[in-house]
């Protein structure tokens, strides 16, 4: 088990339990706060207040606050690391639950290691721990902000890898019943930046932990153009797992804003997937349009290239919000931007992309409305 003290309270997590056994049950101490500002609890630094707010550190506490929400008929929003979300200026009228369930456990097998991770673990800590143990599978996902639970829900991906590639199963709690349910990887309906847990049905389940199967010896994912260019430039012929991890960190830091200085939710839009026919039509006008086959008759297009090269909006600014000067997929809050400011800029960009290419783009960032 893990013993830790948070805000003067001692919390015990029994790593090998799906649900607490009788010897680990204690009376949960609920601290429900009112009218708590959410802006500084997100990486975008935008948003109003939560009508009700609490932080949970154990299964017992989570079940207790869910029961409390049921008695008050409160809608629920699960807050992880605060990345990849845009909270309404009006805040959230229900109960915001900050997930602080933490813990990691490694189960060793001849060629693989199963890593069981609790939802509140910072994602970068999980990647760093895997790299330290020389376990392959998530090193390309280094430095992505947010919590482990959010990474599962979002099916995070970068530099040729996605978390779905290593997920074995996901353990959840049903918001309505408080019952545990395990989902196999195939049950999670993972697709590009999406999963079952983002659907209306899936939002009834809170991810509490999941198991990743990592490899002791496997081929590294080195085909992404940014990695190819990085290792070519540095003369690295046979990069190691740690080389890949360090390269991703260097590349991301060069492209993305420092969260300590600038508010952002990360990549605001998804890269669009279009038909081959549509792609050829655009390519006839823009011959150097980058593209990646993703299935029969379909192409994935780097939206950042379109926003930058075709729309000319890289570095564009509207008041306190703008398109980041080093990465056109990223929208930034320069100081006191509001959700309405971001929505206006996002709509402006979407219109520009559609008018020039005929592509209707989708948001990657989740809007949290009151």
- Half-sphere exposure at residue 20, Cβ-oriented, CA atoms within 13 angstroms: 20
Catalytic position from the list 60, 193, 195, 213 = 193
Closest CA to 92 of 54, 66, 123: 54
**Distance from C-alpha of 143 to C-alpha of 346, rounded to nearest angstrom:** 25
Residue with tokens 């069981």: 116
Q: How far apart are CA 22 and CA 19, in angstroms?
A: 10
Three-point CA angle 285, 291, 295, nearest 5°: 125
* Helical segments of the chain, H only: 59-72, 123-132, 148-154, 225-234, 241-255, 276-283, 303-305, 339-357
Annotation marks residue 193 as catalytic: yes
Active site residue 93: no
Q: Are strands 298-300 and 292-295 parallel, antiparallel or unpaired?
A: antiparallel
- Judge whether 287 counts as a catalytic residue: no
Given the residues 267, 277, 351, 363, select the one marked as catalytic: 267
Q: Which of 295, 265, 291, 267 is nearest to 359 (CA)?
A: 291
Q: What is the DSSP string of 186-247?
A: GGGT-BTTB-GGGSTTGGGEEEEEEEEEEESS------SHHHHHHHHHHT-SS--HHHHHHH
Q: Which residues does the annotation mark as catalytic? A: 193, 267, 364
């Amino acid at each position: 088990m893990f013993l830790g003290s948070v805000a003067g309270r001692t919390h015990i997590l029994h790593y090998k339990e799906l649900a607490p056994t009788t010897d680990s049950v204690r009376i949960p101490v609920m601290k429900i706060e009112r009218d708590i500002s959410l802006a500084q609890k997100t990486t975008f630094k935008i948003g109003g207040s939560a009508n009700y707010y609490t932080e949970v550190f154990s299964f017992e506490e989570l079940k207790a606050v869910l029961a409390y929400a049921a008695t008050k008929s409160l809608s629920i929003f699960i807050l992880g690391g605060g990345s990849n979300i845009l909270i309404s200026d009006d805040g959230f009228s229900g109960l915001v639950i900050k997930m602080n369930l933490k813990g990691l456990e490694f189960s060793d097998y001849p060629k693989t290691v199963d890593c069981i991770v609790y939802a509140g673990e910072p994602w970068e800590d999980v990647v760093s721990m895997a790299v330290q143990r020389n376990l392959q599978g998530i090193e390309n996902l280094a430095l992505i902000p947010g919590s482990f639970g959010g990474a599962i829900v979002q099916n995070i991906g970068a530099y040729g890898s996605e978390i779905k590639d290593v997920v074995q199963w996901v353990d959840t709690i049903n918001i309505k019943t408080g019952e545990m349910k395990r989902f196999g990887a195939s049950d999670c309906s993972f697709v590009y930046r999406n999963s079952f847990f983002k659907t209306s049905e899936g939002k009834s389940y809170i991810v509490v932990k999941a198991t990743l199967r990592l490899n002791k010896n496997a081929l590294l994912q080195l085909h992404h153009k940014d990695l190819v260019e990085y290792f070519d430039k540095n003369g690295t012929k046979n990069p190691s797992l740690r080389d890949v991890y360090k390269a991703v960190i260097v590349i991301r830091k060069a492209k993305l804003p420092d969260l300590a200085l600038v508010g952002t939710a990360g990549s605001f839009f998804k890269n669009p997937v279009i038909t081959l026919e549509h792609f050829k039509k655009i390519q006839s006008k823009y011959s150097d349009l980058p593209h990646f086959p993703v299935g029969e008759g379909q192409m994935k297009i780097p939206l950042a290239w379109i926003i930058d090269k075709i729309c000319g909006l890289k570095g564009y600014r509207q008041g306190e919000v703008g398109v980041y000067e080093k990465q056109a997929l990223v929208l930034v809050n320069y100081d006191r931007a509001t959700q309405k400011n971001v929505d206006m800029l996002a709509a402006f960009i979407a219109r520009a992309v559609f008018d020039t290419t005929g592509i209707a783009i989708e948001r990657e960032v989740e809007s949290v409305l009151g």
